[in-house]
Structure 1
Amino acid sequence: MSAFLIIGALLAVFVFIPMIVTGFLRNVEAGTIRMVSWLSGKTLIFRGPGKSWEVPLLTTGTTLSSKAINVDLDITDQTADLDDHGVPQPIKVRVLASAIVSVGDSDQMIKTAANRFFSKPDEEQINILIDLLSSSGRRAINLLTHDQLFSAKTAPKLPVGGIPAPAGTAVAVQDEVSRALAPSHRGEVEDDDDPLAIIIRKACSRELTDLGLSFNSLNIKVVQSDVAEARRRQSTAEAQANAEIVAALQTRRAKEAEIEAARVISDRQRELEQTRAANAALVAEAEAKKQAALAMQRSAELEATQIAQARADAERVRIEAEAQARAEAIRITTVAEATAESIRKVNEAIQQGGESYFRYKQIEMLPDVAPFIADALSKARLVTISGGGESAAEGTTNSITGVIQTVLAAQLVASSGMMDNAQPTAIPVGRIVGSE
């Protein structure tokens, strides 16, 4: 029995109690809202993630999605453009955008959304949002100009309140735009919001509030128009023209750079050729100087050789001359000594033999010396100065006798062979003077 009690207790703890707790506490997932209504009419709202407190049979619960709803919009209408005279000149535009809405933050808006919006089928919910946002978008397009749609951040700011409207803009339209762009009770308008999103938010805020929803943002994907397409084509053409101009400029600059590079290369080549020519001229000049130096060196060497040879020849000649002079001196000395010896011997012979020997020699040599004596006497100019009692005839005779004796002595010496080259005619007879 106790075992059954234990099993029952365990089942109660692990099965029945979790079931009871699960029946009272229910999970509320993230992105959902749980509405719990009690019998008393009180409604509690639980936002996920979390738990909701419910009592079976006493409460009724409903789950709503708190996730943002993305609505794609395709709006086609005309802008509020005017010509220079203020006459309406609307431009047809097409706006592709996506709007994001979600359930309101307050409990009252959540209850309203549960009763008026989420009570309808999903397809009808999307259609309601598309109709509501499209109508607001078309109204916003009717209030804006073409340039404001295409250039929201660069377009001139629309005046607010009592600020005068720009020239060429209808006063009624401008006032409505000013009211749409004026700050509301929800806070100041963000500077980054474009006029189209601001006007759509203002225009549909009341209708969305009636459905329990709030407008979060508007993302404009594409704004199309014939004017924009023409401008786009013009911009494309201008961009293409600019690109072609830039390409042409780049090509021209590249060509100029190429020409400049070719010119620089040509200048460098010309300078190189000039340098090579100058170097060749320097090399040739150096070679010429080298050859000239070699020629001068060879000439100097030849001259030195010739000088050395001349010096050697001179030295040889000098030595030969000195030797010859010494030999000649020796010969002359020998001849002189021989002559002197012969004269001495003749004198000794004359002294020893007396007058008879001398006269004998005179008679012996008379045939040989007679021509020479005659020639000497014919060339002699005798001047006889007598004195001391000697007559002129005696003086002349003595002089002639002296000449004959001299010639005979010379011939005697020559005949004796003591003088190799002696000639009897070599003894000139000049002026013979006899005196006492």
Structure 2
Amino acid sequence: MDVSNFVVIAVVLIVVLVLIPLLVSSFLRNVQAGTIRMVSWLRGSTVIYRGPGKSLEVPLLTTGTTLSSKAINVDLDITDQTADIDDTGIPRPIKVRVLASAIVSVGDSDALIKTAANRFFSKPEADQMAILNDLLSSAGRRAINLLTHDQLFSAKTAPTRSVPAIQTAPAIDAAENDDDPLAIIIRKACSKELTDLGLIFNSLNIKVVQSEVADARRRQSAAEASANADIVATQQARRAREAQLEAERAISDKSRELAQTQASNAALVAQAEALKQDALGTQRSSELRATLLAQADADAVRVRIEATAAAEAEAIRVVKLAEANAQSIRQVNEAIMAGGEAYLRYRQIEMLPELVPEIAKALAQARMITISGEAGGGAAGQATGQIADVMKMVLALQAVGGSVAKE
């Protein structure tokens, strides 16, 4: 392959990679969003392209113009008088000032776009805003002259509506019924002028309606609102106080019921404690009685045992004493029988110191005379015999007394 072939290939590549994109880009033009591209051909036909997209243009054969399709916001400051009348029918206009903002845009149809390009966008931007301001302000003043103060004052809070330029009659009537009077009148008043410029009226936003009456009513409303707020606050404070008193009353009732319940419970506890103490006292009395009875029974048993033992001991002693007495008597009798007269005389001599005073006392007290005719058996003999009998008795008693003493 020679050099000429390389040159041809390089030229073809340059044409394909560079010249063809340049040629295509010269025929196709970008149309950005929010813009409208108008392309006019040699014979006067116009093609409209709405962005975003591409427009077909042939250099030297077509002419293109770009228009903005964005909404245009126009601030309005309108001062005029309303159409108010008094009760007698005499006009009583009220000076008002309306601050609002109107939104207009290019129409959607090709005819309105061509009109806007020729009559509106062909002017400088400052002239465009001046035209819109004058047009909308004049329509606003006309609307204020047709409305009363109350209608205008109530319209500032009404919802705004955007009405397309091309609508059927029923749709327009429905939109007008939903819109505020000021926006309706402004739209009707300036719709023809805006259409002549290729524009449409979208909406009206009323910011402020100022007037002496409105200020007075505003102050009155503020005073009424403040008074109502004070009344509401007073009522709320009264309700709060009543609720607090009711709560305190309920708390007092509950506290009183609680105190009564506590007192009743305390009385029941005291009564139960008293019953408990009575039961304990009864139990202690019963236990003491049982203890005393047991002790008495034990004492009685002990006494009976001691009495029985004492009786048995006494019986044994008596038996032994009787046996000892009997033994002594037997011994005396046996001694008397064994010793006879000698024993008695011996005991008489032994007991003379004790017997003489007693015998003398007895003889002194005995006033009797004994006469006996027998020899040796006179009074002296009888007296001696009686003394001997007494001696025997005394000896027996001493024997018995000695045995008792030994026992």
RMSD between superposed Cα atoms in Å: 4.9
1:275 and 2:262 equivalent?
A: yes
Cross-structure match for 2:162: none
Cross-structure match for 1:69: 72
Residue 125 of structure 1 deviates from its aligned partner by 0.8
Cross-structure match for 2:47: 44
Superposition TM-score, scaled by structure 2 size: 0.70
Q: Closer, same or farther in 2 for the Cα pair 1:296/1:37, shift >3 Å?
A: closer
Q: Which amino acid aligns with 2:313?
A: A
**What SS is found at the alignment partner of 1:151?**
helix
The superposition leaves residues 283-331 of structure 1 with CA deviations (integer Å, 9 ceiling, x where unpaired) of: 69627944982696278348715751x4444333323322222233234
2:26 pairs, out of 23, 27, 31, with: 23
The superposition leaves residues 169-206 of structure 1 with CA deviations (integer Å, 9 ceiling, x where unpaired) of: xxxxxxxxxxxxxx848743324321211121111111
1:330 and 2:333 equivalent?
A: no
Distance in 2 separating the partners of 1:44 and 1:282: 109
Are the counterparts in 1 of residues 325 and 403 from structure 2 also a CA contact under 8 Å? no
Cross-structure match for 1:213: 199
1:101 and 2:84 equivalent?
A: no
Distance in 2 separating the partners of 1:199 and 1:254: 52
Distance in 2 separating the partners of 1:13 and 1:408: 200
Flag structure 2 segments of 5+ consecutive residues without an equivalent. Answer: 159-167, 339-354, 363-389
Flag structure 1 segments of 5+ consecutive residues without an equivalent. Answer: 156-182, 353-364, 373-406, 422-436
The superposition leaves residues 59-85 of structure 1 with CA deviations (integer Å, 9 ceiling, x where unpaired) of: 222221111111111112222233333
Q: Closer, same or farther in 2 for the Cα pair 1:26/1:320, shift >3 Å?
A: closer
Query: Higher helix fraction: Structure 1 or Structure 2?
Result: 2
Residue 208 of structure 1 deviates from its aligned partner by 0.8
Q: Closer, same or farther in 2 for the Cα pair 1:312/1:28, shift >3 Å?
A: closer
Cross-structure match for 2:287: 300
2:12 pairs, out of 2, 9, 18, with: 9
Q: Closer, same or farther in 2 for the Cα pair 1:285/1:42, shift >3 Å?
A: closer
Cross-structure match for 2:238: 252
Q: Which amino acid aligns with 2:192?
A: R
Q: Closer, same or farther in 2 for the Cα pair 1:52/1:185, shift >3 Å?
A: farther
**What SS is found at the alignment partner of 1:89?**
coil
Are the counterparts in 1 of residues 35 and 69 from structure 2 also a CA contact under 8 Å? yes
Cross-structure match for 1:78: 81
Superposition TM-score, scaled by structure 1 size: 0.66
Cross-structure match for 2:221: 235
Q: Closer, same or farther in 2 for the Cα pair 1:186/1:242, shift >3 Å?
A: closer
Q: Which amino acid aligns with 2:24?
A: V
Q: Closer, same or farther in 2 for the Cα pair 1:19/1:327, shift >3 Å?
A: closer
Are the counterparts in 2 of residues 342 and 418 from structure 1 also a CA contact under 8 Å? no
Are the counterparts in 2 of residues 112 and 211 from structure 1 also a CA contact under 8 Å? yes
Are the counterparts in 2 of residues 92 and 225 from structure 1 also a CA contact under 8 Å? yes
Cross-structure match for 1:124: 127
Are the counterparts in 1 of residues 107 and 198 from structure 2 also a CA contact under 8 Å? yes
* Fraction of identical pairs, as percent: 63
Residue 39 of structure 1 deviates from its aligned partner by 2.6
